Structure 1
Amino acid sequence: MAANEPTATGEVTTSPKKVFIQRDYTHGTECKYETNFPAQLEGVIARETLTDTVNKINELLERSEELGCPTYTEGCLSCLTGYLLYFCIDTKYSKEMKQISLFIQRQNDEIYHPRGVHIVEPMLRGLRCIELVVYPPPTKPV
């Protein structure tokens, strides 16, 4: 259905608006997103809500990239087994990516979907940005 066409119930729909939160490269190339509030979301979602969500995503991403004894052990064991180890276990990084996915899904269900906003998982955009899709409410024709 094209934008601004009436539906079967007579409502006029407009196409969704996409808003992007870009990566923050001020501290190097670590995977972190800007916490600036996009002007396009003014009046749609609270500034604190979006900032809290982005900060939590940044925290989970930082945790996924931490190096420690488990990470080094995982790397050594994978080398020793010819990387066959990865058929048996998930990596620390993939476990954290699943946590981010679950967090975003929970946030969408509880906070964003009721307000007509959907957060697209950053992994689907190659971790380049966080995409928010804002669906306008249907309006009655005049």
Structure 2
Amino acid sequence: MQSADELQVRKRIYLQRDFSNGMAVRFQTRFPSELDGRVNPEEFSQTISVLNEKYRQAEEISFSTYCEGCLACLTGYLLLLCINTHYKKVLKEISKYIEDQNNTIYWPKRILIKDPFESGLRSIEIVIFDEN
């Protein structure tokens, strides 16, 4: 089986952030026409919806996230060197989810979804490779 480094890129698609509901991290859910016939629209929509929900959870304010912030401030932010914050934990979940989706759904079709954190959460990059 070939790795992504050995294949030639056919096209790159970018799903931009959706700012219609404010500054929260949320990506457009429209199905790109370039994926038509290659990916099931329902599977793609489900992937993006789960990502949007996980980013919503990451930015959710709760008593524990409030305490994390207060304790970090009281310790001169040294606490953040010792613990994983709620936000970091959810970002790890998101990376794992994207990896699982790529392995099970997208990579067999020579499509790769990149983690949006790598691009500063500006967009989701979808790479389509040649099927040689």
Q: Structure 1: which 4+ aligned runs deviate by more than 4 Å?
A: none
Which residue of the partner structure matches residue 134 of structure 1? 128
**Distance in 2 between the 1:102 and 1:118 partners?**
14
Is the 2:9–2:128 contact (alpha carbons within 8 Å) kept by the matching residues of 1?
Answer: no
TM-score, normalization by structure 1: 0.85
Report which of the two structures shows the higher radius of gyration computed on alpha carbons. Answer: 1
1:92-103 maps to which residues of 2 (within 5 A)? 92-103=86-97
RMSD over equivalenced CA pairs, Å: 1.1
Question: What amino acid is the match of 1:19?
Answer: I
**Distance in 2 between the 1:98 and 1:41 partners?**
27
Q: Give the C-alpha shift of residue 79 in structure 1.
A: 1.1
Which residue of the partner structure matches residue 31 of structure 2? 37
Which residue of the partner structure matches residue 90 of structure 1? 84
Structure 1: tracts of 5 or more residues without a match: 1-12
TM-score, normalization by structure 2: 0.92
Q: Deviations over 1:87-142 (max 9, x none)?
A: 1101111111000000000000111100110001000111011111011211xxxx
Q: Give the C-alpha shift of residue 44 in structure 1.
A: 1.1
Structure 2: tracts of 5 or more residues without a match: 1-6
Which residue of the partner structure matches residue 62 of structure 2? 68
Which residue of the partner structure matches residue 106 of structure 1? 100
Q: Give the C-alpha shift of residue 86 in structure 1.
A: 0.8
Moved more, 52-61 or 14-23: 14-23
Q: Deviations over 1:41-88 (max 9, x none)?
A: 111111111100000000000000000100110011111111110111
Q: Give the C-alpha shift of residue 28 in structure 1.
A: 1.0
**Distance in 2 between the 1:92 and 1:39 partners?**
36
**Distance in 2 between the 1:62 and 1:55 partners?**
11
Which residue of the partner structure matches residue 51 of structure 2? 57
